[in-house]
Amino acid sequence: MQSTIAVSQLLRTDEVHQSIYTDPAIFDREMDMIFGKAWIYVGHDSQIPRAGDYITARIGKQSVIMVRDKSGAIHVLYNRCPHKAAKLVPEGSCGHVRKLFRCPYHAWTFQHDGTLCAVPFSKRYEGTGFDSADPRFSMPHVARVASYRGFVFASLSPDGPDLATFLGGVISSLENFCDRAPEGKVAVAGGVFRVLQRSNWKIFLENLNDTAHAQATHESSFVAARHTAQARGAEKLPFELHIIEGNGEPNSFWEQIEWSGFDYGHSYMTSIFNAPQDELSMAYRASLEKAYGAERAVSILATSRHNTTIYPSCSPHTSFQQLRVIRPLAVDRTLVEIFTFRLLGAPEGLFQRTLTYSNVVNSPSSVVMVDDVDLYNRVHEGMANETGQWVSQHRRAGFEETVGGEIKADGVSEMPIRNQFTAWKRYMSGEV
């Protein structure tokens, strides 16, 4: 049935058919053709520091385990026992297995790299077609695994570009994410927020790139932040109010932002927060200067970005050290996981600022996040209406400029969304 979807009929110049967001057959095809082909973010190597540490993740519809073995190598294995298919560990779990994975059903055991170790009643398999050396009785590996400075990605497809080629221009965002640490390394810390959205995964991904929504969508939260600040008589807004009220900036502010778009649907935008000059920020700057020298420290901090989108699976925020990960569950259900990172070698207060940012903007109880999630749901429900049928992406269409493979556009352009659909079309039609 999937091959009968005529992808080109769902796309017009600067608009897309709403069934792209609501048709379960299209969702299934996306899981095969996009999430089954692209490099998908799995996890960060700091989450599994010791041999036997593991986390679970989803790649499209596949449940996988990322585990470190005793040589230090990282493996990404399908979370499926080769006996009768039981999941070896519960989805969403993380933990430690000292030497072996042991299936909870009939106790087959597997080494950290997935190799079958032992099966109970082994003598009773003699003279049958079972062969413990046959790889099909071990935990299968996903086709490809690669990492960039600790960020581990996997692809279910044996073919395709290598990770660096796939990341292209947005590799600089991951680079800056790590360079901002005086030790050049980051580590996941502080747990994870999980937000289940009743809307299609693309709606979330598009909103990361939609600067024109902030003033309307977040009016309730930024007005409340301004009233609170006034009531307190504060001359300078505290950090948490500052980041909430920033959504109320006027049109001219959003228009001066710059977008960069890249192959495979990736993009990033320039920062919407100025380099702070408070005591903590200055101490952090000093730690960077000590590690890298003054000139390099200035250049690292000058690479200041708000959202980066690594299509289709994650979005690092380099200035506030957080990573949002998109796990589509169904055509109308999307799990978004939000991780916070510590910059190794930076003052501890900086990590507290990261947590504050994540709490204020991304936690399930955030006054900002609920605005967005409500709108994602309204968009998804609105698509059930049979009028209209087409979803507009016209804003600043035709005004982008391509320079050396990078598409440049101004702040309220929907270029990044159109760029995502350029990639979507290529994946869905089998070109990638």
Q: Decide which of ligand FES, Fe ion, none touches 372; Cβ closer than 5 to 8 Å per partner kind.
A: Fe ion
Q: Can residue 130 be called a binding residue for ligand FES (CB under 6 A)?
A: no
Which one, 56 or 319, has the nearer CB to ligand FES?
56
Would you call 255 exposed, middle or buried from its count of C-beta atoms within 10 A (0-12, 13-18, 19+)?
Answer: middle
**Please, are residues 244 and 278 in contact by the beta-carbon 8 Å criterion?**
no
**Please, are residues 263 and 405 in contact by the beta-carbon 8 Å criterion?**
yes
* Calpha distance 239→405 (Å, rounded): 37
Q: Can residue 83 be called a binding residue for ligand FES (CB under 6 A)?
A: yes
First to last CA, the chain: 20
Which one, 130 or 390, has the nearer CB to ligand FES?
130
* DSSP line for 312-342: TTEEEETTTTEEEEEEEEETTEEEEEEEEEE
Q: Can residue 96 be called a binding residue for ligand FES (CB under 6 A)?
A: no
How many residues sit close enough to ligand FES to count as binding (CB under 6 A)? 8
Q: Can residue 50 be called a binding residue for ligand FES (CB under 6 A)?
A: no
Q: Decide which of Fe ion, ligand FES, none touches 227; Cβ closer than 5 to 8 Å per partner kind.
A: none
Which one, 61 or 83, has the nearer CB to ligand FES?
83
Q: Which of these ranges, 27-35, 78-86, 285-293, 414-422, lies near ligand FES under the rule CB under 6 A?
A: 78-86
* Cα angle for residues 20, 205, 237 (degrees, 5° grid): 145
Looking at residue 50, the DSSP 8-state letter turns out to be S
Which pair of tokens denotes residue 5?
């979807």
Which one, 78 or 259, has the nearer CB to ligand FES?
78
* Calpha distance 215→199 (Å, rounded): 22
* Residue from 422, 98, 402 nearest 259 by CA: 402
Q: Compute the least distance from the CB of residue 45 to Fe ion, in Å.
A: 30
Q: Compute the least distance from the CB of residue 49 to Fe ion, in Å.
A: 34
Q: Which of these ranges, 99-107, 128-136, 194-202, 388-396, lies near ligand FES under the rule CB under 6 A?
A: 99-107
Q: Decide which of ligand FES, Fe ion, none touches 232; Cβ closer than 5 to 8 Å per partner kind.
A: none
Q: Compute the least distance from the CB of residue 246 to ligand FES, in Å.
A: 51
Q: Decide which of Fe ion, ligand FES, none touches 106; Cβ closer than 5 to 8 Å per partner kind.
A: ligand FES
Q: Can residue 124 be called a binding residue for ligand FES (CB under 6 A)?
A: no
CA dihedral 147→92→315→159, nearest 10 degrees, is: 40
Residue whose C-beta lies closest to Fe ion: 372
**Please, are residues 378 and 200 in contact by the beta-carbon 8 Å criterion?**
no
Q: Compute the least distance from the CB of residue 82 to ligand FES, in Å.
A: 8
Binding site residues, ligand FES, CB under 6 A: 81, 83-84, 86, 103, 105-106, 108
